[in-house]
Amino acid sequence: MQQANWTLVVAVAQNGTIGRNGDLPWRLSSDLKRFKKMTMGHCLLMGRKTYESIGRPLPGRQTIVLSRRGCDVAEGIRVVGNIDEVQDLVEDGRQVMVVGGAQVYRSALKNCTRAWITRVLAEIEGDATFAPLPSNEWCLESTEGFPEGPTDEFPTQLEVWRRRADS
């Protein structure tokens, strides 16, 4: 079943890496600022491991954590064991933003109709990866390049993807 209009938000290196040792494998302040702007006011859906690596609720956003075995979370955060329970918990006016990690991107992709992908323009070693979106189901709408800023380790490129209507 495809649910309405979830947005996937990910930063991925050229070799597919998104994480290493439970954390992000880069420092990219500009991308974190973009992430904050894109997600503010919305509902973040994340996996238990990503929640533990962030370690706190992100202000101004609803957070829903996916965990089958359950986990301790800060007040106000909901934990659900099944992705089909998510939509009913989303507060009015918020869109679901799927923010990782690797397992949750795989589980939730079927519910996403839009993807904001930051390409980190480097090959980076890691243990968590994101597979390319299938080109028969998704199309690239726009691309914008960003040179590396003073507190970024690498230049980046933001891609906006949309699920094809017939997929």
Ligand X SMILES: NC(=O)c1ccc[n+]([C@@H]2O[C@H](COP(=O)([O-])OP(=O)(O)OC[C@H]3O[C@@H](n4cnc5c(N)ncnc54)[C@H](OP(=O)(O)O)[C@@H]3O)[C@@H](O)[C@H]2O)c1
- Nearer Cβ to ligand X, position 9 or 136? 9
CB of 12 to ligand X, least distance (A): 6
**Secondary structure of residue 84 in the 3-state scheme:** helix
Q: Where on the chain is the footprint of ligand X (CB under 6 A)?
A: 10-11, 18-20, 22-24, 47-50, 53, 66-69, 71, 81-83, 99-104, 107, 128
CB of 163 to ligand X, least distance (A): 19
CB of 34 to ligand X, least distance (A): 11
- Nearer Cβ to ligand X, position 82 or 136? 82
- Neighbouring residues of 166: CB distance < 8 A, sequence distance ≥ 6: none
Distances from the Cα of 30 to the Cα of 77, 115, 121, 151, 153, angstroms: 27, 18, 14, 7, 10
Q: How much helix, strand and coil, in percent to the nearest 5, is found in the chain?
A: 20, 35, 45
- Nearer Cβ to ligand X, position 39 or 113? 39
CB of 150 to ligand X, least distance (A): 21
* Closest by Cα among 74, 38, 29 to 55: 74
- Nearer Cβ to ligand X, position 49 or 119? 49
**One-character DSSP codes across 23-82:** B-SS-BHHHHHHHHHHHTTSEEEEEHHHHHHH-SPPTTSEEEEE-SS-----TT-EEESS
- Nearer Cβ to ligand X, position 95 or 103? 103
> Could you tell me how far CA 66 lies from the centroid of its own chain?
13
